[in-house]
Structure formats: C-alpha cells, structure tokens
Structure 1
Amino acid sequence: MSDDIWKRAEIESPCVKVCVIHPETRLCTGCLRTIDEIGAWSSLSVEARRAVMADLPARAPLIAQRKGGRAARLKRQLG
C-alpha cells in the first residue's frame, strides 16, 4: 500500500500558530493573512495560494509595533 495520497504538491500554510488579528489592519500578526484567507485556505486553488503567499512580504510593514499603548491609540483615533 502506498502513501502517495498523502504526498500532494500543495503549498503549505504560512501559519505559525500565532493567531492574533491586528485591530487596525485586520491581518493575522503571525501569518499576515486576512480572516477570509485563513478560513478559505484549504479550499483555495494552488494559484490562489501562491498569490496570497507572494503578497505576504508586502503586508509585513502594515503590522507596526504598538507604541504608546492605549493613550497613543486613542490619540490616533481622535486625531
């Protein structure tokens, strides 16, 4: 019996098991995917997965380190 059925040429998930959604960008801070991309990942075509993977590096700057805590966030919202 062969295990070939389990050896598929699919793109791996970029998940790093740090599942926290950034409040402003709505991207996962671990893998940089959107909630919709995460939810649909298993049903996406190889081409769609490749497109998401190619876009991930450009998303990294969108997740900035929080500076100033709650006060700074409130100031940004009001300002």
Structure 2
Amino acid sequence: MSKDTVWKRNEVESPCIQICVVHPEERICTGCLRTIDEITGWSKMTPEQRSAIMEELPSRAPKLQKRRGGRNARLKR
C-alpha cells in the first residue's frame, strides 16, 4: 500500500480556491461562495452536510454578479 493510499480520505473536498475575500453585502466568500460559518465549520461537518453546501454554491454566484447601476446610478444621486 502506498503512502498516498493510507492518507487518502473519502470525504467531500473543500471548494476553496485560495481567493479569500468576503463580499461586504452578501457576506459570502467571493472565491468559494461559502459563508464564514460554513468555512470555519467545514472540518467538523459530515459528508452529507458538505455535499448539501456544494450543491447550493452555484446558486450563490449570481449574488456577486449584480450590477450596482454604474454611471446611471451615480448620476441619479
């Protein structure tokens, strides 16, 4: 048995992509789309809990792509 086989664990991998910036309004990481609570609790979650979060992550992406209004919004102020 190789060293890699011994240490390989059957669990859901973290979606972290090492771009750790929390969006100030949405309060989710702009890199992995998890909340701070999900990030800090990840290592203690069951595989089922991790899988449920992983399935939900793609639906969070549009929250970070909202336009703020651009030039038109600034002109209305």
TM-score bracket for this pair, using the shorter chain length: 0.7 to 0.9
**CA offsets per residue over residues 20-74 of structure 1, 9 Å max, x none?**
0001100000000000000000110000000000000000001126654xx85xx
The TM-score, its normalising length taken from structure 2, stands at: 0.79
Listed as ranges, the matches of 1:1-79 within 5 Å are 3=3, 4-64=5-65, 67=68, 68=70
Rounded to whole Å, the distance in 2 between the matches of 1:48 and 1:32 is 15
The percent of aligned pairs where both chains have the same amino acid is 58
Letter in 2 for 1:44: M
The TM-score, its normalising length taken from structure 1, stands at: 0.78
Rounded to whole Å, the distance in 2 between the matches of 1:14 and 1:54 is 11
Unaligned residue ranges in structure 2 (runs of 5+) = none
Letter in 2 for 1:24: E
1:5 Cα deviation after fit: 3.7
Unaligned residue ranges in structure 1 (runs of 5+) = none
